């Protein structure tokens, strides 16, 4: 049952997923290019910050520090999904996320070579295995709602079709679900990833 729903969801929204993937990939490429433009003093400062960034352990402060940026991204996409101009801006959110991850990956690789890859896999990848699918699927739902609003206006109907209120209601009800998954990613970032990071940083 669940497999069938997922299969139908992917088939119905394949174009949206492709757009998001292209936008995210372009961001990854730009993040790599930014490394070449990074001034040496800034690079040295980032290296010192990396050496100081060995978390002492899990705490509520660390969790909220990890959760709030993701919460803002999810709520931004939620808001954009209810606007006419939401679609290109939602793609922009994924593009920016790609820049951030691309810069982090290539900076660590540039700084520590293959050891930097290990740091990325330990301290950045685990939580993003939750963040990225969550943000991606949520963005597709937001694109679908925004597109539905635009189509209804173009048709110039006095009343929206029955499907729109249903879609809008599902959109609101799914928000807490996706926020719970996002919070799970923040727990990974605040508890699991720091332990891997602190263990690896002593060797690399």
- C-alpha span between 168 and 192 (Å, rounded): 36
State the pLDDT at residue 59.
Answer: 65
Q: Cα-atom radius of gyration of the chain, to the nearest Å?
A: 20
pLDDT in tens, 135-168: 999 999 999 999 888 877 776 655 555 577 888 8
- C-alpha span between 42 and 26 (Å, rounded): 24
State the pLDDT at residue 9.
Answer: 81
pTM, rounded to two decimals: 0.85
- C-alpha span between 189 and 36 (Å, rounded): 28
State the pLDDT at residue 72.
Answer: 95
State the pLDDT at residue 159.
Answer: 55
- C-alpha span between 117 and 143 (Å, rounded): 33
Describe the crossing of helices 86-112 and 40-52 by its angle, rounded to 10 degrees: 80
State the pLDDT at residue 68.
Answer: 94
State the pLDDT at residue 182.
Answer: 96
State the pLDDT at residue 85.
Answer: 87
State the pLDDT at residue 45.
Answer: 54
Q: Within a 13 Å sphere around the CA of 203, how many CA atoms are in the beta-carbon half? A: 11
State the pLDDT at residue 80.
Answer: 95
State the pLDDT at residue 94.
Answer: 95
The low-confidence residues of the chain, meaning pLDDT below 50, are 52
**Chain centre distance of CA 135:** 5
Q: Where are the domains of the chain?
A: 2-37+60-201
- C-alpha span between 99 and 24 (Å, rounded): 8
Q: Within a 13 Å sphere around the CA of 76, how many CA atoms are in the beta-carbon half? A: 16
């Amino acid at each position: 049952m669940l497999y069938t729903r997922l299969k139908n969801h992917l088939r119905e929204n394949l174009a949206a997923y492709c757009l998001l993937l292209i936008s995210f990939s372009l961001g990854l490429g730009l993040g790599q290019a930014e490394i070449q433009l990074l001034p040496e003093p800034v690079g040295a400062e980032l290296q010192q910050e990396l050496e100081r960034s060995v978390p002492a352990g899990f705490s509520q402060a660390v969790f909220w520090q990890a959760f709030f940026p993701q919460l803002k991204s999810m709520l931004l996409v939620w808001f954009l999904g209810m606007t006419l101009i939401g679609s290109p801006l939602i793609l922009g959110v994924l593009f920016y996320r790609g820049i951030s991850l691309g810069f982090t990956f290539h900076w660590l690789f540039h700084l520590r070579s293959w050891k930097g890859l290990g740091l990325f896999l330990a301290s950045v990848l685990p939580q993003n295995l939750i963040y990225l699918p969550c943000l991606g699927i949520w963005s597709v739902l937001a694109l679908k709602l925004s597109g539905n609003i635009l189509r209804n206006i173009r048709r110039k109907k006095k009343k929206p079709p029955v499907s729109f209120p249903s879609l809008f209601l599902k959109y609101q009800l799914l928000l807490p679900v996706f926020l719970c998954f996002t919070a799970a990613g923040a727990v990974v970032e605040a508890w699991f990833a720091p332990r891997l990071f602190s263990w690896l940083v002593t060797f690399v």
